[in-house]
Amino acid sequence: MSLLSPGTRGLKALRSTNRRRLLDLLREHGEVSRADLARLTELSATTVSSLVAELADEGVVSEGGVDDHSRTGRTGRPARLVRLVGGRGLVIALNLTREVVHAAVCDLSGAVVLECDRRIDVDRADSLTRIAALVDELAEQAGQAARERISRLVVAVPGVVETSTGHVVSARVPAWQQLAPGPVLAAATGLETHVENDADLCALGERSFGAAVGLDDIAYVKASWGIGAGLVLGGRLYRGYHGGAGELGHMEVAEFGDLCLCGNRGCLETQASLETVLAALRVVRPEVRTPADLAELVQAGDRAAIRAVTDAGAAIGRTVAALCNVLAPQAVLVGGELAGGGTHLADSIRDAVERYTKPLTAERIVVLPAELGSRAALLGAVATAVEAETTP
């Protein structure tokens, strides 16, 4: 039982929220004076000074250099600038797809130190053993000095992560059913391990380092073999009560449609997933087998490929419009392998949002192509590690 009174818990939560606000601003702007931090956060100068001192004691931020006022046009004594200490720690980030693991070693400012792709079938019984071996290999390649600074492993997985147990639930990864990979990987690698849904980490990556920097309410739509949404609401990742928020792909769009892997019928994934698009396109383009093949055709202006993508976008967009009517976010970010090759998917989703979202909400929402591509989940892992390190 907690020994903190409700008032004390409230103050700690408020202080934690204010710390995150400062860190978000520093990630967005690079370096900021204390006065500008107070102005941008609308916190008192005393509160900002206290938080900066606390973060500096922990080695999270440093103060150095001065603001010569050239950016603001102000006069008076130059102010010292606060910045994140990028090199103080490292995180190993993994993004697991059906057949390939995207891996990187990053510092906490988002700089990528080392990056590679490795073909690993995550549905094999030995997949976690092979993933742990990849983590050890990355740490070895980073060098002894860097290895000593690696503090966390963050893994993006294509499935629901139950927040209470850490179990991954995904019809696409049957070998992981009711398996909690976090403790297994932590024991194998010796690193504190966090496991998150891939769309959730993409949303955090775009908010911290990509197209949604500075926005507190966003929906990241990941259109790939599955279709999911990562939700950041009020500046916080929203996972749902037990996890599983944002499962757009399993909203019914055709009552008597095809059976879905989840066991229901007519889910969005049966109409507009990457697998469905590739299968439809192969009727006229039999050589198309992979997302790269599709992206190449779209980039070349192939009408059939563009039509297949825009039709999928229209179907996804109607579902996203329903989401927007409920949540009214500032922005919708469109990413995933189905978005490769151009802005056609984002444009089609934007058209549907404008058509099917109530007008007052639609005119306040921007729909944007995601900027970070395959790195979105990796940099979302960095954002998760930063929050873990800086939350008291």
Inform me whether the pLDDT recorded for 15 exceeds 80.
no
**pLDDT tens-digit readout, 289-321:** 999 999 999 999 999 999 999 999 999 999 999
Cα gap 353→336, rounded to integer Å: 18
CATH superfamily assigned to domain 88-203+376-390: ATPase, nucleotide binding domain (3.30.420.40)
Residues 199 and 229 sit within 8 Å (Cβ to Cβ)? yes
> Model pTM?
0.82
More reliable by pLDDT, 44 or 111: 44
Strands 61-67, 79-84: pairing is: antiparallel
Identical fold at 18-84 and 88-203+376-390? no
* Mean pLDDT confidence for 123-140: 92
Least confident interval from 18-32, 100-114, 200-214, 317-331: 18-32
**Rounded-to-integer distance, Cα 203 and Cα 206, Å:** 5
139-153, 192-206, 277-291: segment of lowest average pLDDT: 139-153
| pLDDT score of 222 | 97
Question: What is the helix (H) or strand (E) element at residue 59, kind and residue range?
Answer: none
Q: Which pLDDT belongs to residue 1?
A: 30
Structure confidence at residue 13 as a pLDDT band (50, 70, 90): low
Q: How confident is the model at residue 203 (pLDDT cuts 50, 70, 90)?
A: very high
Taking the domain 214-370, which CATH number applies?
A: 3.30.420.40
**Confidence class of residue 174 from pLDDT cuts 50, 70 and 90?**
confident
Q: What is the pLDDT of residue 214?
A: 81
Nearest to 382 by CA among 166, 208, 192, 181: 208
At 233 the pLDDT is: 95
Q: Which two tokens stand for residue 154?
A: 């963050």
| One CATH from 1.10.3210.10, 3.40.50.720, 1.10.10.10, 2.60.40.4070 for 18-84 | 1.10.10.10
pLDDT tens column, 135-158: 999 999 988 877 888 989 999 999
Domain locations in the chain?
18-84, 88-203+376-390, 214-370
- For residue 217, pLDDT over 60 is answered with yes
Backbone angles phi, psi at 145, to 5 degrees: -65, -45
pLDDT of residue 16: 67
pLDDT at 5 over 60: no
